[in-house]
Amino acid sequence: MNTNILIENAVMELSSDKDHSVFFTSKRNDSPMPDIEQLRMVVELLNKIIFPGYFGESTINPKNLRYYIGVYIDSLKTILEEQIKRGLCFNCSNENKLINYTQIADEKTLAFINCLPEIKRLLRTDIEATFLGDPASKSHGEIIYCYPGIRALTNYRIAHELVKLEIPLIPRIISEMAHSATGIDINPGAQIGEYFAIDHGTGVVIGETCIIGKNVKIYQGVTLGAKSFPLDEQGNPIKGVDRHPIVEDGVVIYSGATILGRVTIGKNSMIGGNVWLTHSVPPDSKILQKKPRENVFFDGGGI
């Protein structure tokens, strides 16, 4: 077939009517998608605000700090408000055209700014917990500047406040940024107490309805997931059902453990690595995988 005709056909098929209903809802034409680069800048600004001296300009000092914080928050206000508005419009339907999304976005952005000191306080507890839990860490500064666990928790604690403000889509994008960079996937709906530490972290999954207490520590590859979920009459999953674990204060979960369902891991329990656990355990439990078979025949030699 002739090149021009082949390309012409591909263009026609890929822009044909049959796809329009899926990719172009009426609202989509009125409001652009949230802008991921702008949201990346939001997270950078928040790092500058929360950890000045680490992520802000190198000349920041106690004398000029308020100028910088003033400018960072002013930028945050402008950029985040626009993205919140886009997030609100992402799910809106045409009937809602009378709603003043600009004003709602303005109010939610201010409410979020109001929470920043509390977010900062929580992250400082997480840094402290990480420092106390890792003999390899050399200083608080190193943890703030390099540790993926703190990076993921920063995005989580930001995104969780946005969830509480009932902002759609934006929290998810922010948590996926951390997931992509760190391999740590915390659903922004999860509730996590202070002094939380994640070490190494790659492969961690924390589900939407998890409730995690204080002083909890988890390692790479830990899953706190759902075992199953109910479907509605059309076979669609019912949203919002509690289906993820409750992890009480002081629990430690070793690498690769999988804990599924609305089970409770009692206070100060220790869950060993590579365990598959689908039931609740009482406080102070110690759970380990069955001992392995040793010196068995195995013909493997590579994957």
Closer by beta carbon to a second copy, 122 or else 277: 277
**Least Å distance between CB 99 and a second copy?**
18
CB 102 within 8 A of CB 85: yes
CB 188 within 8 A of CB 152: no
**Least Å distance between CB 193 and a second copy?**
19
**Least Å distance between CB 129 and a second copy?**
11
Closer by beta carbon to a second copy, 128 or else 193: 128
Closer by beta carbon to a second copy, 96 or else 274: 274
Nearest to 156 by CA among 187, 118, 182, 200: 187
Closer by beta carbon to a second copy, 172 or else 213: 172
CB 43 within 8 A of CB 158: yes
Closer by beta carbon to a second copy, 71 or else 99: 71
Closer by beta carbon to a second copy, 22 or else 98: 22
CB 178 within 8 A of CB 156: yes
CB 200 within 8 A of CB 148: yes
**Least Å distance between CB 95 and a second copy?**
17
**Least Å distance between CB 111 and a second copy?**
9
- Rounded CA separation 253/233 (Å): 37
Name the CA dihedral angle for 233, 234, 237, 239, rounded to a multiple of 10 degrees: -80
Backbone phi, psi, residue 277, to 5°: -130, 125
Cα 72 to the chain's mean position, in Å?
A: 23
**Least Å distance between CB 231 and a second copy?**
9
- Rounded CA separation 9/15 (Å): 10
Closer by beta carbon to a second copy, 58 or else 94: 58
Adjacency order of strands within the sheet including 223-225 = 185-186, 205-206, 223-225, 258-260, 276-277
**Least Å distance between CB 69 and a second copy?**
4
